[in-house]
Structure 1
Amino acid sequence: MSPQNSVLFSPIGIGPLVLPGRLFKTATAETRGTLDGFATDAVVDFYVPIARGGTPLIITGNIYVCREGKSAPLQLGADHDDKIPALARVVDAVHAQGAKFFAQLNHCGRQVVPRFAQSPVAYSASDVKDLLTGTKPQALTVEEIQRLVGQFADAAERCRRAGFDGVQLHSANGYLLSQFLTPYTNRRSDEYGGSMENRTRFIRQIIQAIRSRLGPDFPVIVKMNGSDWLPLRDGLHTGELVEAATLLQREGIDAVEISVGHYESGFPMVCGTFDQCLRNMLKGSMSYLPPLRRTLLQVFRPLVTLASNLLWKGRQGYNLDYTPQFKKQLAIPVICVGGFRTREAMEAAISQGKCDAVSAGRAFIADPYIYRHLRDNQPGPRCVDCNACVGHLGAQPAECYHPTVKAEKDAMLAREATV
């Protein structure tokens, strides 16, 4: 099928933006900032090839809105005006290649190893310990929640001043906004807990604050789960998350991107194989765990690897299990992330009405030009779902760490540089 006849390369609107295609770069932590959250040349180097490859929309890795919401040492921040010039350099470089660029705004909440993130304390909706990290957060007060609403709006304004075309609020994968949605992590009895109306209040207030500050024409999209994937715990299922998305749509969001799971879920959000992933985690972010947890992970790593390989085998479009329910209820675009690698799988997902667009992370890390390659039916490096890159996130730069695929990628980029 030629690009002219392919739904994957047909236009789609997100708010006032009209994008020329429907494959986007999803957020992946770059781990390329400075220790105090400033963007660097290495961030530019990461995004420019993806933009040069024709990608219609790129979403940054999670950017913290306040120092207490930082999840890793080399994460980007939008917590002060002094971050704006460095972010603007990245935006200008991406725009020069013709791509649109959204900033993903986030607060990690309880999903943090405080020693790794150099943070004295963690915060959440309630003081429910994270079973993976052992982190026991402090429950946010109403006053602190209201301050965070302002900090999200401040960060969004800074991102617009830096030139970003829109923002994405990260309410998936068990981070703070997701923690407020989920009954397992939100056991409050005030206006931010209990009913779905109450549990969405925090993110709805953030959307309202951004809209009040930046107007109706600045795109605001939300990343959220299609399932919390929390067996034996009070996690959200698809119907409940669709209800939450409907409430957010009423506040004027422009699209949703559907993911899955919390940190406690294991690896449903990055299906594939996990031997190198877990090895890299134990040398990186997980080396900062409390001694007992670190030792248990080291001892049981082979068993955890085996179980993970069985439970979360790689397959394309694994979040298509959830997106059709969102499509039926929402009038805004539904974007599906989750293991997409081939043009055929992407086209099928959209043409069958399961989603309006697809996004990918690891596929772009393996092949920054994947959009162009799929559009023009050209070969390129292909992610093999080894998840070595996932294991390094937060500790080493976002990059392909599979030797064969990385060699292919480097050769491709070298050829491109001579053209």
Structure 2
Amino acid sequence: MTETAKRSVLFDPLTIGGMTIPSRIIKTATTETMSTEDGFVTDELVAFYELYAEAGTPLIITGNFYTQRSGRVYNRMPGADHDDKIPGMKRMADIAHRHGSKICAQLSHAGRQVFQPATLDDPVSASAVSDKFSGIKPREMRIDEIRSFVEGFARAAERCQRAGFDAIQIHASQGYLLSQFLTPYTNRRQDAYGGSAENRLRILLDILKAVRERVGEGFPILIKLNGDDALPLRKGLKTPDLVEIARVLEDHGLDAVEISVGHYESGFPTIRGNFNRFFDTLLNEGIGQEYPRGKQRSMRLSKGILAALSNRLWPHSEGFNLGYAEQFKRALKIPVICVGGFTGPDAMAEAINTGQCDAVSIARAMIADPYLVRHIRRQEIGPQCRFCNACLAHVGARAVDCSHPEVVTERAAMLERERKRCFGNAA
């Protein structure tokens, strides 16, 4: 099979619920840090997504929208918690549709994975289990709060639909609130929402049912789910447990699943790469500036060791979640999307051709090259992500952008070429 033939699978259509997209390269969610402090969409946020739409990205999954203000992870995170957010969200949907892209709103609640002062309310979780990464000690959600949260999530989904979004994604991975309910380590409840696997899944099934009642049949509902909790020596979920969760959700009307890995407390299996610049950037330019002084001091003293250890434990590889995704693919009929370090078309096509997933989703490589889909279609090479992770170290403190000096220069030159090409065609 020629390289061109191998790559052609990337531009085969894919149906997710009532939506069909013309390609299998998806923009996955990235925390943008571009909304107002009150969670309203800004010009900056709209412009950020317009680049991906201009590139012909078939499906854009946004960074997470909070469904309740208490569920914010960071400052400048967009919200879908009130009707007054709909006009701004509509601008995002309209800009995607203007260029022929579909757009999916990721909806989430941080639970215990929140960094003060991002949230004004006291952090909540399935149980009062401290987060060793952030140091946050949440309190256990009351039953009435769970019911309110389920209804609020469904209302947020309906707002996304009213704003013109083509789908929503329920964020139940990477240690956020719904992941905290699923995982025995973080869910130690003794009521209907804790204990057995069935009880721990209850809140997610409640949300899926409530959302479907709001948005109707045919409107695509996706979920982001871990392939492994990556919580050694703790009661985390393993791949067979999570595959069974996905199978139950499929039986209850889920339309697609995206596979990720880990909790914040896991370290960095979610963002494998090179960490030589990560900790410096986190402390000097990122959310680390808001850490308690003692934590900042200890991190500054140990940053070299932390970087070396992280480099050893979590090196970059393309498709590092494929081993998990393949097991979901074997068990499910709905599309399985895999995120995790993809950058080149050959690895993407191989993942689909070998039946390990139905589509790939990308974050960092698209931050480096927002025109990645266009470049793959034309068999051109754009700026290449170095997976230095400095872009992610800025999350919550400033707008997400590529931070590798060489790539930034290449990216600026590429965007200028694309603008000239666009204006030339228009002329």
- Give the TM-score category using the shorter length: over 0.9
**C-alpha distance in structure 2 between counterparts of 1:16 and 1:132, whole Å:** 39
Give the letter for the 2:221 counterpart. V
| Equivalent residue number for residue 251 of structure 2 | 250
Count of paired positions: 418
In the TM superposition, 1:254-403 aligns within 5 A as 254-283=255-284, 284-403=286-405
- What is the Cα deviation at residue 3 of structure 1? 6.7
Deviation at 1:119, TM superposition (A): 2.3
CA distance in 2, matches of 1:3, 1:376: 13
Deviation per CA, 1:278-311: give whole Å up to 9, x if none. Answer: 1122132122223332222222111111100011
Q: What TM-score results when the alignment is normalised by the length of structure 1?
A: 0.98
Kept after mapping to 2: 8 A contact 1:114/1:121: no
1:84 paired residue number: 86
Between the two proteins, what is the percent identity of the paired residues? 51
Q: Which residue of the other structure, out of 100, 107, 115, is the alignment partner of 1:113?
A: 115
Find the counterpart in structure 2 of residue 409 from structure 1: 411
The equivalent residue for 2:184 is 183
Structure 1 match to 2:206: 205
Name structure 1 gaps, 5 residues minimum: none
Counterparts of 2:315 and 2:215, CA distance in 1: 42
Query: In the TM superposition, what whole-angstrom CA distance separates every residue of 1:128-183 from its partner, at most 9, and x where no partner exists?
Result: 00011110001001110000001100100111111000100000100000000000
AA at the equivalent of 1:197 = E
Amino acid at match of 2:135: G
1:236 correspondence with 2:237: yes
Which residue does 2:425 correspond to in 1?
none
Cα distance in 2 for residues equivalent to 1:287 and 1:47: 27
Residue in 1 aligned with 2:166?
165
Query: How far is the alpha carbon of 1:405 from its aligned partner?
Result: 0.6
Two-structure CA RMSD over aligned residues (Å)? 1.2
Measure the CA separation in 1 of the matches of 2:195 and 2:298. Answer: 35
Given the superposition, is the C-alpha separation of residues 214 and 108 from structure 1 closer, same or farther in structure 2, using an over 3 Å criterion?
same
Spell out, residue by residue over 1:17-39, the C-alpha distance to the aligned partner (whole angstroms, 9 max, x if none). Answer: 11111010000011110010001
Whole-Å separation in 1 of the counterparts to 2:297 and 2:197: 39
Q: Which amino acid aligns with 1:334?
A: V
Instruction: Tell me the residue number matched to 1:156.
Output: 157
Going from structure 1 to structure 2, the CA distance change for 1:171 and 1:118 (only over 3 Å counts) comes to closer
Question: Is the Cα–Cα contact under 8 Å of residues 3 and 9 in structure 1 kept in the other structure?
Answer: no
Return the alpha-carbon distance in structure 2 between the equivalents of residues 407 and 74 of structure 1: 27
User: Match of 1:151, as an amino acid?
Assistant: G
- What runs of 5+ residues in structure 2 fail to find an aligned partner? 422-427
Alignment-mate amino acid for residue 253 of structure 1: L
Q: Could you tell me which amino acid in structure 2 is paired with residue 373 of structure 1?
A: H
Distance in 2 between residues matched to 1:151 and 1:363, nearest whole Å: 33
CA 1:21–1:3 in 2, change beyond 3 Å: closer, same or farther?
farther
**Cα separation, 2, equivalents of 1:252 and 1:215:** 11
- Partners of 1:5 and 1:75 in 2: CA distance: 36
In 1, Cα distance between equivalents of 2:198 and 2:333: 20
